[in-house]
């Protein structure tokens, strides 16, 4: 959603980083570009003025001018101000001291309240709570049925004493009383010891008196601990107007952004918290019930500025990866067992459980520069890899070296792929196996940093995190060609007259006399390398 805004801001800061010192004109030009980017993203004008004013004031202060890297300091200021207009701090549900905690959902029709009710209920269940969904939207056709289906998928019970509207018209059926259903639902939760009640209410295509009256009556009847305003993040400026109308007419304690995975400009997310004074608490990021997350202002600001969101990525990995499987894999590495295609398949399946690979890569810092490549990435690649490995025999999975041409052709037919795709997978697997072997040896990344020796943790078992001792340097060579030639002849004579190598000496090299340091004979080096030393 924030792709365009992120690209504009990143480009602005890239130009800023080319300057060693920032003048007032540089800062004004940067503020001007930020203002245009925010207005193009459909952020409310009042919010843009407030944001750019705060950034300009701080950018012209000693905070930036005295910094070692003024451009980086400006980015820091923008990041902090973005966090501020997004709400400042993370906030989740405030649970009642005496259960059940009542959560009422409000918003316009089509904002995604019913689906979000199921997502919130599933999230609460995973947190150890026992939620109950209450179907108080009796007006929208088949809204009750939809909530029942969503509740079943989430594994959460639904209280639905009335079937609601079963026709095509958006009217309240005769005898239907949403207020009575909401009140009875809370009482049922209290009797059956559900600790959280999520009340789904009706919406309208637009704000009107009837909508506000019904929402206010339900609020007065159930006395909710939290009223969450669900808003479609794709509707831009109108989201702020609607939010303000609900804040005045019903009142709400927090905002939930739905459809945050859309391709709209995202101005609603940057405006609502600042305009209404209510925090954004949750975000819906996809169609699956698991595409639901707590809204962290600092992490969202980092995503917008292309700094990534590694913390959210780690949290998703912790939920998706099986601790028992990870422990089993670690045991294999410690025991020195080889990484097999069976293990590779397990790792790919756990990666698949984390959700969209595009989203995961998008959370890494700097991935905005590779957005086009990410967009072209085929999510079905993981499915193809799984199909290829499942088409192999157990012996082939354990020992891929036995996979010859005829076996590759059979695997390709069985998986619906080509032999070139089989070859590519085996090449990737070889790379993964080498990396796992390196990790098993405690060596981390192979090779170390150029010119820095082996850093701690990169030198294998023998180094134990210490840098290898450096060889002693020989006597300095003279800059006089004649004297240097004499030194070289003397070194060659000493090497020829050296004692035989003692038993067990490394590489069969004789020990140098204790009183002198060994000299290097350039003539003994390969062509080119010897010439390099001769020129010293």
* Cβ-proximal residues to 419 (8 Å cutoff; 6+ apart), any chain: 405, 408, 409, 412
Q: Are 176 and 160 in contact, with CB atoms under 8 Å apart? A: no
Question: Comparing C-alpha atoms, which of 59, 69, 83, 89 is closest to residue 20?
Answer: 69
State the Cα–Cα distance between residues 140 and 146, nearest whole angstrom.
Answer: 10
Range list of β-strands (E), 177-219: 196-200
* C-beta atoms surrounding 345 within 10 Å: 17
201 is in an annotated binding site: yes
DSSP per position, 351-384: HHHT--HHHHHHTSTTGGGGHHHHHH--TTHHHH
CA Rg value for the chain: 33
254 is in an annotated binding site: no
111 is in an annotated binding site: yes
State the Cα–Cα distance between residues 381 and 241, nearest whole angstrom.
Answer: 43
260 is in an annotated binding site: yes
225 is in an annotated binding site: no
112 is in an annotated binding site: yes
* DSSP annotation of 92: -
Phi, psi of 280 (to 5 degrees): -80, 120
202 is in an annotated binding site: yes
110 is in an annotated binding site: yes
113 is in an annotated binding site: yes
Q: Are 30 and 16 in contact, with CB atoms under 8 Å apart? A: yes
Question: Comparing C-alpha atoms, which of 429, 458, 236, 443 is closest to residue 338?
Answer: 429
**527 phi-psi bin (left φ>0, alpha ψ -120 to 50, beta other):** beta
The C-alpha angle 189, 193, 197, rounded to 5 degrees, equals 35
447 is in an annotated binding site: no
137, 138, 141, 147: CA torsion to nearest 10: 50
232 is in an annotated binding site: no
525 is in an annotated binding site: no
Q: Are 312 and 122 in contact, with CB atoms under 8 Å apart? A: no
107 is in an annotated binding site: yes
Name the token pair of 416: 């619906």
Name the token pair of 440: 């098993």
258 is in an annotated binding site: yes
200 is in an annotated binding site: yes
Binding site, residues?
A: 107-114, 200-204, 258-261
Binding site for GTP, residues?
A: 107-114, 200-204, 258-261
């Amino acid at each position: 959603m924030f792709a365009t805004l992120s690209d504009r801001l990143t480009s602005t800061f890239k130009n800023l980083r080319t300057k060693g010192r920032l003048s007032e004109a540089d800062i004004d030009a940067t503020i001007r570009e930020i203002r245009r980017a925010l207005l193009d993203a459909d952020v409310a004008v009042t919010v843009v003025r407030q944001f750019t004013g705060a950034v300009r004031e701080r950018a012209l202060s000693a905070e930036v001018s005295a910094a070692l890297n003024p451009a980086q300091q400006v980015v820091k200021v923008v990041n902090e101000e973005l966090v501020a207009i997004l709400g400042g701090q993370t906030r989740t549900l405030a649970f009642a001291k005496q259960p059940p905690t009542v959560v009422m959902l409000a918003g316009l029709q089509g904002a995604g309240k019913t689906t979000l009710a199921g997502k919130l209920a599933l999230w609460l269940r995973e947190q150890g709570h026992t939620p109950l969904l209450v179907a108080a939207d009796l007006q929208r056709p088949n809204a009750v049925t939809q909530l029942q289906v969503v509740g079943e998928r989430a594994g959460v019970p639904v209280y639905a004493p009335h079937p609601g509207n079963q026709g095509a018209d958006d009217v309240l059926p005769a005898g239907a009383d949403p207020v009575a259903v909401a009140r009875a639902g809370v009482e049922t939760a209290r009797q059956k010891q559900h600790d959280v009640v999520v009340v789904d209410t009706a919406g309208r295509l637009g704000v009107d008196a009837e909508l506000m009256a019904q929402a206010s009556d339900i609020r007065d009847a159930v006395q909710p601990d939290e009223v969450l305003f669900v808003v479609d993040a794709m509707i831009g400026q109108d989201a702020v107007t609607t939010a303000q109308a609900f804040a005045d007419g019903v009142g709400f304690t927090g905002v939930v952004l739905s459809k945050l995975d859309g391709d709209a400009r995202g101005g609603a997310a940057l405006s609502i918290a600042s305009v209404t004074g209510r925090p954004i608490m949750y975000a819906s990021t996809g169609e699956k019930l698991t595409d639901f997350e707590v809204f962290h202002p600092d992490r969202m600001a980092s995503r917008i500025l292309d700094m990534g969101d590694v913390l959210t990525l780690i949290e998703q990995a912790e939920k998706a990866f099986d601790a028992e499987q990870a422990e089993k894999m670690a045991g294999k590495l410690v025991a020195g067992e080889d990484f097999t295609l069976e293990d590779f398949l397990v790792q790919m399946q756990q990666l698949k459980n984390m959700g969209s690979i595009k989203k995961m890569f998008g959370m890494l810092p700097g991935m905005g520069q590779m957005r086009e490549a990410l967009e072209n990435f085929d999510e079905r690649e993981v499915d193809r890899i799984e199909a290829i490995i499942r088409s192999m025999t157990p012996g082939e999975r354990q020992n891929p070296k036995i996979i010859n041409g005829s076996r590759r052709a059979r695997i390709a037919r069985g998986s619906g792929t080509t032999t070139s795709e089989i070859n590519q997978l085996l090449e990737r697997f070889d790379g993964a196996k080498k990396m796992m072997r390196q990790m098993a040896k405690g060596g981390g990344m192979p090779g170390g940093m150029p010119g820095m020796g082996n850093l701690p943790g990169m030198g294998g078992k023998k180094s134990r995190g210490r840098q290898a001792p450096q060889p002693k340097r020989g006597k300095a060579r003279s800059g006089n060609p004649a004297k240097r030639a004499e030194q070289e002849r003397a070194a060659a004579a000493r090497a020829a007259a050296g004692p035989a190598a003692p038993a067990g000496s490394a590489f069969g090299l004789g020990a140098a006399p204790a009183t002198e340091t060994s000299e290097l004979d350039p003539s003994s080096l390969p062509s080119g390398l010897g010439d390099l030393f001769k020129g010293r």
